[in-house]
């Protein structure tokens, strides 16, 4: 099987570094004399034939840009048999023999559907949530974490001046990787993640008291959105110890901005590897990182995998917060 024409799409929530991955796919494919097409708005672009030819110039000056030049969507229609049939027929009509799909778990499930209809697919993990079980690293996490850290550092200045308690809500959907990482990086008083059931009195209120005994007069509580709303947590703190916490929901700002060097370089390597896998006649694969190296896994196997917050992070957090 020789690969002649690759389509590349971004799907799900955008993540900084997606453009660097698209750029690497385009440049690697062209390097091997393979044509590349950009599929716009995720799987909707395949359904609607929303596709553009990409050349070296189309991806110039995109490595430093956040968001995705291909636009993105969470396609409801593609979840249906009819939507998938239309997408496959677009691939056949346009002679796209392969698709590289950049996104998270939902994107991988979509790619698996294409693969079952005979299209070659390789996926690249990109989500600020970093919640993909088959890989330690997902494109966008590093930038989002650094954005959140920068925001919280700024917040700390005013919290410290007014001797206040701050409750900050960090994204991550049902996962707490981003919140845990950010919480450790900003020296939070407490971090609430969905993976760990907490005893509110012991894990939040006592930690604030302990911090007070240690001489602190301001307190930073980081909450993963999957662990509860910052407003509710703030209300519970107010009720328990008569502090009047200020609430900050960082929200979509965490998904924007120029990607960090780490996100740019890893996205470039992953985009390169995705094309090399197709050229080596591999399909239904996800490029991932494991134990510090780049590798690839079967999509079906990847979707069965489970991982959670490392117990080391929980232990370190406990030591850092003094309880």
Instruction: Tell me which residues are annotated as active site.
Output: 129
Tally Cβ neighbours within 10 Å of residue 178: 29
Among residues 112, 196, 218, 255, which is the contact residue for ligand F6P, using CB under 6 A? 255
Q: Whole-angstrom Cα distance, residue 12 to residue 113?
A: 16
Residue 246, burial from CB neighbour count under 10 angstroms (0-12, 13-18, 19+)? middle
**CB closer to ligand F6P out of 133 and 295:** 133
Does the footprint of ligand F6P cover residue 172 (CB under 6 A)?
yes
Count the residues of the shown chain that bind ligand F6P, applying the rule CB under 6 A.
Answer: 9
Among the candidate windows 36-44, 85-93, 127-135, 233-241, which touches ligand F6P by CB under 6 A?
Answer: 127-135
Taking the least distance from each CB to ligand F6P, the nearer of 253 and 280 is 253
Residue 11 near ligand F6P by CB under 6 A = no
Which residue in the set 63, 70, 96, 128 belongs to the binding site for ligand F6P (CB under 6 A)?
128
Cite the beta strand spans of the chain per DSSP E.
5-10, 35-39, 51-54, 98-103, 120-125, 165-170, 190-192, 219-224, 246-249, 285-290, 293-298
Site for ligand F6P in 216-245 (CB under 6 A): 225
Under rule CB under 6 A, residue 103 binds ligand F6P: no
Burial class (CB in 10 A: 0-12, 13-18, 19+), 182: buried
Is 127 a binding residue for ligand F6P by CB under 6 A? The answer is yes
Closest residue to ligand F6P using C-beta atoms: 13
Q: State the minimum distance, in angstroms, from the CB of residue 225 to ligand F6P.
A: 6
Q: Between residue 13 and residue 52, which ones bind ligand F6P under the rule CB under 6 A?
A: 13
- Counting Cα atoms < 13 Å in the Cβ hemisphere of 231 gives 1
- The helix (H) or strand (E) run that includes residue 137 is none
- Give the gyration radius of the chain's Cα atoms: 22
Take residue 101 and report the two structure tokens written for it. Answer: 């799909």
Specify the residue, 129 or 296, whose C-beta has the smaller distance to ligand F6P.
Answer: 129
CA 85/CA 62 separation, integer angstroms: 32
The window from 19-27, 169-177, 195-203, 205-213 that contacts ligand F6P (CB under 6 A) reads 169-177
Dihedral angle, C-alpha 69, 278, 270, 74, nearest 10 °: 40
- The least distance separating ligand F6P from the CB of residue 262, rounded to whole angstroms, comes to 19
Which residues within the stretch 51-80 sit at the binding site for ligand F6P (CB under 6 A)? none
C-beta of 46 vs 132, nearer to ligand F6P? 132
- The closest of 133, 132, 112 to 122, measured between CA atoms, is 112
Q: Which of 102, 165, 171, 270 binds ligand F6P (CB under 6 A)?
A: 171
Binding footprint of ligand F6P on the chain (CB under 6 A): 13, 127-129, 171-173, 225, 255
């Amino acid at each position: 099987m020789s690969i002649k024409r690759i389509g590349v799409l971004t799907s799900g929530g955008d993540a900084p570094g997606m453009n660097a991955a698209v750029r690497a796919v385009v440049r690697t494919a062209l390097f091997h004399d393979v044509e590349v097409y950009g599929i716009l708005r995720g799987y909707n672009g395949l359904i609607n034939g929303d596709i553009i030819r990409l050349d070296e110039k189309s991806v110039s000056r995109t490595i430093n840009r956040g968001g995705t030049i291909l636009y993105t969507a969470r396609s409801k229609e593609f979840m249906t048999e009819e939507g998938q049939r239309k997408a496959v027929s677009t691939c056949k009509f346009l002679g796209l023999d392969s698709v590289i799909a950049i996104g998270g778990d939902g994107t991988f499930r979509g790619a698996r559907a294409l693969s079952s209809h005979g299209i070659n697919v390789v996926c690249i993990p990109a989500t600020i949530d970093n919640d993909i079980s088959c890989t330690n690293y997902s494109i966008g996490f590093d930038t989002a974490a650094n954005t959140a850290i920068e925001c919280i550092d700024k917040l700390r200045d005013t919290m410290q001046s007014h001797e206040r308690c701050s409750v900050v809500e960090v994204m991550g959907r049902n996962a707490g990787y981003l919140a845990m990482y950010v919480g450790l990086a900003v020296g939070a008083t407490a971090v609430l993640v969905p993976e760990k059931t907490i005893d509110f009195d012991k894990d939040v209120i006592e930690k604030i008291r302990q911090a007070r005994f240690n001489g602190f007069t301001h307190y930073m509580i980081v909450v993963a959105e999957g662990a509860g709303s910052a407003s509710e947590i703030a209300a519970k703190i107010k009720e328990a110890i008569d502090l009047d916490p200020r609430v900050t929901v960082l929200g979509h700002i965490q998904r924007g901005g120029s990607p960090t060097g780490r996100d740019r370089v890893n996205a470039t390597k992953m985009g390169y590897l995705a094309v090399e896998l197709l050229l080596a006649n591999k399909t239904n694969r996800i490029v991932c990182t494991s134990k510090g190296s780049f590798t690839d896994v079967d999509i079906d196997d990847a979707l069965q995998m489970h991982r959670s917050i490392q117990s080391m992070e929980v232990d370190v957090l406990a030591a850092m917060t003094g309880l």
